[in-house]
Amino acid sequence: MSIIETLRANVGGAIDTAVGPRESDITVRLAHTNDLPAAAGALVGSCAMALATVVATDETRMPDGDFKVRYVFEPVAPGAPDQFVTLLVSVSAARLVVPSITTLIPAANWHEREMRDLFGIVPVGHPDPRPLVVHDGWPPDLFPLRKSFDGSRRVPREPAKEFPHLVAEGEGVFEIPVGPIHAGIIEPGHFRFSSVGETVLHLDARLFYTHRGLEKRMEGLSPIDAFYIAERICGVCSVAHSLGYAEALEQIAGVVVPPRARLIRGIALELERLYNHIGDIGNVCAGAAFHYGTATGLRLKESLQQMNERLAGNRFLRGLLVPGGAALDLPDDLLEDLRATLHDTLARLDNLMSRIEANPSVADRFDETGVLQRQAAIDLAVAGVAARASGVDRDARRDHPHGAFALPGAPDLRVATAAEGDTMARVTMRAVEARESIRLVGEFVRRLEPGPLLAELPDPFPGGRIGISAIESPRGEAVHWLRTDANGRVDRYHLRSPSYHNWPAVALAAVSAIVPDFPLVNKSFELCYSCTDR
Amino acid sequence: MLRILINALRTGVVTTRYPAEPSVPPPRFRGLPVLRPGAHLPPPSVCPSGALSERFDDGGRHVALDAAQCVFCGRCAEDPWAGAITIGRDFELAARSRDDMRIEVVADDGAATQARRAPEPAGDSGSEEALAAREIHSVLGRSLHLRHLDAGSCNACDWELSALLNPVYDVRRLGIDFVASPRHADGVAITGSVTRNLEMAVQRTVEAIPDPRIVIAVGACASSGGIVGEGYASAGGADRVLPVDVYIPGCPPRPEAIIFGILVALGRLEARRAAR
């Protein structure tokens, strides 16, 4: 049964289907908002799909005069077609409610809370009434992503009560508050542990401390100006996010990026994965007090970042990609430098991994620590290394080909998975993927042919169009959704980062671990706060 | 264990000699944009982070670059403005005052330069390490302990701060270290534009550092708001919520640029102490 037939069979009211945003995608408009849970349940249940992102928009100044919420789903089975299915509901400005799907699809939890905070659209039946994005002292009747709200000014702080953390209670249960400012050089977030002795009973993570209002900031800008913001949503995902934004914009513009530029983008994406994965392996060693591993990982990461600077003029590869193609070429001398550096990196990585695996005290800390069950990874739509280490075979490079993978004759991607779901599995998975990235860079370099680097972009950009892209960043699939307004400027941009779906999984994996192992568990997921909080 | 020792010996010393010896960034590195006076300089709208501004008077059109706000994307040096602005490789840009980071030239009419940028105490870089050591010694007894404070950064500046502790930069050799508690710190290295959700935590952390303390704004966002700017969720820079002693431009500043900024900050601390 096709997706549309399944939806018709499960939904009481009328549905209206159309192709889009891309030619391979379907957008299904539900006549009755109350049909949403049944439709979403059918996609996740019968059609084996997962929630990719949720995008709310304020269209009160457009002909429809309403708010809209788009629930975007994607197939999860390996080998499934590259397709997004969007369930679209209209929400009346006079009655801003939608039925919640969180109890049905746990991955929708934060999406719905974010929509309530930023648009004032209430997910009726959501189990958690607490704000997510806006923190203490935010005026209750102000919604930053409504078009009527002026996002360029600061808002006075109102008196606030203490935030109600979700904690376990009972005899002998302790509460351990940690953060938002942490002891190391890391990003801010608050973790509230409920523990009995050393064992964690429950972890309530509160994030969005680094919420900068970037999606609002980008609205109304020319899509090219907004690109530089997208590139700076996250430091260590600079390539992935700039590529995702650029591909969404290129879809809107209807331009085709030249092959050489696509290969350079592919190289950049793998180099970003490489320095992240190797640095992360080193950082996990820090959690186990294995200093040789830490120092070696950091040194290898440093040598890769120095190479980034030689290639792109920036240690985070910023400035290499631009909408339409690549800003910088990779001439032969730099390619030779790249080849030599990666050859050296591979040997040193193998050496580091053999030292980790041969060290019983490190293995003892990594094995069976912070287990994420496969079913939990599926329910929360967990992405990237964390999903694959728990046996979920997903990789956006294969499932939604982008960058160099969208070229004819692109090399096959070997997606590896592990069954254990523990810290050791996540560390091992990173090493496997780092080696694969080195192989892929070689494959891409071999395919480089002389040719143009940039496609010509329209000015202005076409108005009222939607672009969607999914990029496998070092942390997993990031979904970008972009729409232009009538004048071809940015009307709405939304990023669902892999960390956004993975943070709730960290809280689950921490349960039953001991408190001193939390840094290890946390670092083995290695999530970004900045691209979650935006 | 033996293998680890052998590996360590085989690796040898990987630590940079900076600042005793200068660091030369690679040819593609994008440092401070250089504005050519009299050239056909671009309109301010070309800059995505608002670092370019212009004003008009009898001398003609004046174009200014605020290095604190620059994200070093290189867009102002692309066609059709290539030549009017070139991307330099200067990265030692830290300064004690926002005014020192403004470079203004007269555009279009070929008039003389009006660059206002105050020269930094770069001097003979060979003596910098000795200078730093001397200052650290006299003020804080051999060491400067900083607390890192993420006030809403994109994490690039944070990762560059943590790179200072890797075997290549190893700032502990200069008597500089990062500590876990503000109570143990002599100052703070703040990254990010100061988000609304962190403003209180930022203030409390800085207040917890014993006075006198150094506040170093690391990167474009902390120095000026950068590409984030001011908005409903962002204060638009560290100096909007607390006094800042030194600004380190960059998006992010490379590790050597941060080391340079910390050395600039140490001079500042000495001056403040002398004034009290």
CB-side exposure of A65: number of CA atoms within 13 Å? 2
pLDDT band for position A413 (50/70/90)? very high
Contacts of B73 in chain A (CB under 8 A): 228, 318-319
- Residue range A193-212: mean pLDDT, rounded: 92
Tell me whether residues B157 and A232 touch, CB distance under 8 A.
Answer: no
Interface of B with A in 77-136 (CB under 8 A): none
User: ipTM score here?
Assistant: 0.92
Q: Please give, rounded to a whole number of angstroms, the shortest distance from the CA of B178 to a CA of chain A.
A: 8
DSSP state of A455: P
DSSP A406-442: GSTTPPPP-----S--SHHHHHHHHHHHHHHHHHHHH
Nearest to B155 among A183, A214, A235 (CB): A235
**Rounded to 10 degrees, what is the CA torsion of B190, A232, A533, A177?**
-30
CB B233 within 8 A of CB B197: yes
Contacts of A312 in chain B (CB under 8 A): 28
Could you read off the pLDDT of B197-246 as tens digits, one per residue?
A: 999 999 999 999 988 888 999 999 999 999 999 999 999 999 999 999 99
How many C-beta atoms surround the C-beta of residue A391 within 10 A? 18
Per-residue tokens: A464:
């009222």
CB A480 within 8 A of CB A387: no
CB A96 within 8 A of CB A67: yes
Tell me whether residues B233 and A211 touch, CB distance under 8 A.
Answer: yes
B203 beta partners: none
pLDDT band for position B96 (50/70/90)? confident
SS3 of residue A41 by DSSP: helix
Q: How high is the pLDDT of residue B4? A: 82
**At B36, which amino acid appears?**
R
Per-residue tokens: A150:
């002026």
Q: How high is the pLDDT of residue B270? A: 47
pLDDT band for position B132 (50/70/90)? low
Could you read off the pLDDT of A83-111 as tens digits, one per residue?
A: 999 999 999 999 999 999 999 999 999 99
pLDDT at B254 over 90: yes
Q: How high is the pLDDT of residue B273? A: 39
Task: State chain B's mean pLDDT as an integer.
Answer: 84
CA-CA distance, A63 to A511, in Å (whole number)?
49
Tell me whether residues B232 and A529 touch, CB distance under 8 A.
Answer: no
Could you identify the residue written with the tokens 């009211």? Answer: A13
Q: Burial level of A408, CB count in 10 A (0-12/13-18/19+)?
A: exposed
Q: How high is the pLDDT of residue B112? A: 42
Could you read off the pLDDT of A122-149 as tens digits, one per residue?
A: 999 999 999 999 999 999 999 999 999 9
Distances (CA, A) of A384 to A256, A391, A501, B199: 27, 11, 10, 32
Q: Please give, rounded to a whole number of angstroms, the shortest distance from the CA of B59 to a CA of chain A.
A: 31
Q: Does A530 touch chain B (CB under 8 A)?
A: yes
Per the model's pLDDT, the better-predicted residue between B122 and A452 turns out to be: A452
Among A371-375, A398-402, A511-515, A525-529, whose mean pLDDT is lowest? A511-515
Q: How high is the pLDDT of residue B267? A: 74
- A-B CB pairs within 8 A amount to 185
Q: How high is the pLDDT of residue B138? A: 67
pLDDT band for position B122 (50/70/90)? very low
pLDDT band for position A350 (50/70/90)? very high
Q: Are strands B33-35 and A490-496 parallel, antiparallel or unpaired?
A: unpaired
SS3 of residue B223 by DSSP: helix
SS3 of residue A99 by DSSP: strand
pLDDT band for position A226 (50/70/90)? very high
Q: Please give, rounded to a whole number of angstroms, the shortest distance from the CA of A499 to a CA of chain B.
A: 14
pLDDT at A509 over 80: yes
Contacts of B159 in chain A (CB under 8 A): 235-236, 316
Nearest CA to B25 out of B254, B241, B214 is that of B254
- Residue range A177-192: mean pLDDT, rounded: 89
Q: How high is the pLDDT of residue A314? A: 96
Task: State chain A's mean pLDDT as an integer.
Answer: 94
Q: How high is the pLDDT of residue B139? A: 63
pLDDT band for position B276 (50/70/90)? very low
CB A151 within 8 A of CB B113: no
Q: Under 8 Å CB-to-CB from B65, ≥6 apart: which residues?
A: B33, B35, B51, B52, B102, B103, B104
CB A387 within 8 A of CB A380: no
Could you read off the pLDDT of A360-395 as tens digits, one per residue?
A: 999 999 998 999 999 999 999 999 999 999 999 999
φ, ψ of residue B195 in degrees (nearest 5)? -75, 160
CB A495 within 8 A of CB A241: yes
Among A27-36, B188-197, B265-274, whose mean pLDDT is lowest? B265-274
Nearest to A209 among B148, B158, B197 (CB): B197
Q: Please give, rounded to a whole number of angstroms, the shortest distance from the CA of B63 to a CA of chain A.
A: 20
Nearest to A530 among B48, B154, B235 (CB): B154
Q: How high is the pLDDT of residue A160? A: 87
CB B214 within 8 A of CB B246: yes
pLDDT band for position B143 (50/70/90)? confident
Nearest CA to A397 out of A78, A108, A25, A26 is that of A78
Does the global pTM surpass 0.90? yes
Q: Does B154 touch chain A (CB under 8 A)?
A: yes
- Residue range B63-71: mean pLDDT, rounded: 93
pLDDT at B133 over 60: no
**At A431, which amino acid appears?**
A
Overall size of chain A counted in residues: 534
Q: How high is the pLDDT of residue B144? A: 86
How far is Cα of residue A30 from the mean position of the Cα atoms in its chain? 27
pLDDT band for position A505 (50/70/90)? very high
- Residue range A516-521: mean pLDDT, rounded: 89
What percentage of chain B has pLDDT greater than the value 70? Answer: 84
Could you read off the pLDDT of A284-313 as tens digits, one per residue?
A: 999 888 999 999 999 999 999 999 999 999
CA-CA distance, B154 to B249, in Å (whole number)?
15
Nearest CA to B81 out of B44, B120, B42 is that of B42
CA-CA distance, A29 to A35, in Å (whole number)?
10
CA-CA distance, A26 to A73, in Å (whole number)?
10
pLDDT at B127 over 70: no
Q: Please give, rounded to a whole number of angstroms, the shortest distance from the CA of A277 to a CA of chain B.
A: 14
pLDDT at A433 over 80: yes
φ, ψ of residue A114 in degrees (nearest 5)? -65, -40
Q: How high is the pLDDT of residue B272? A: 39
CA-CA distance, B11 to B16, in Å (whole number)?
14
CB B76 within 8 A of CB B42: yes
Domains and CATH numbers, chain B: 33-107 (3.30.70.3270), 125-275 (3.40.50.12280)
Q: Under 8 Å CB-to-CB from A396, ≥6 apart: which residues?
A: A383, A402, A470, A471, A472, A476, A477, A478
CB-side exposure of A489: number of CA atoms within 13 Å? 9
- Residue range B6-33: mean pLDDT, rounded: 88
Tell me whether residues B227 and A530 touch, CB distance under 8 A.
Answer: no
| Cα angle: A413, vertex A414, A417; to 5 degrees | 135
- Residue range A308-333: mean pLDDT, rounded: 96
Q: How high is the pLDDT of residue B108? A: 64
pLDDT at B268 over 60: no
Q: How high is the pLDDT of residue B117? A: 47
Q: How high is the pLDDT of residue B136? A: 55
Q: Are strands A66-75 and A85-91 parallel, antiparallel or unpaired?
A: antiparallel
DSSP A261-313: HHHHHHHHHHHHHHHHHHHHHHHHHHHTT-HHHHHHHHHHHHHHHHHHHHHHS
Could you read off the pLDDT of A24-43 as tens digits, one per residue?
A: 999 999 999 999 999 999 99
Domains and CATH numbers, chain A: 3-124 (3.30.460.80), 173-206 (no CATH), 214-408+421-533 (1.10.645.10)
CB A326 within 8 A of CB A454: yes
CB A238 within 8 A of CB A229: no
CB A530 within 8 A of CB A210: yes
Overall size of chain B counted in residues: 276
Radius of gyration for the alpha carbons in chain B, expressed in angstroms and rounded? 20
- Residue range A49-73: mean pLDDT, rounded: 95
CA-CA distance, A250 to A458, in Å (whole number)?
10
pLDDT at B124 over 80: no
DSSP state of B166: S
pLDDT at B107 over 80: no
pLDDT at A18 over 90: yes
Nearest to B231 among A188, A217, A318 (CB): A217
- Residue range B44-63: mean pLDDT, rounded: 89
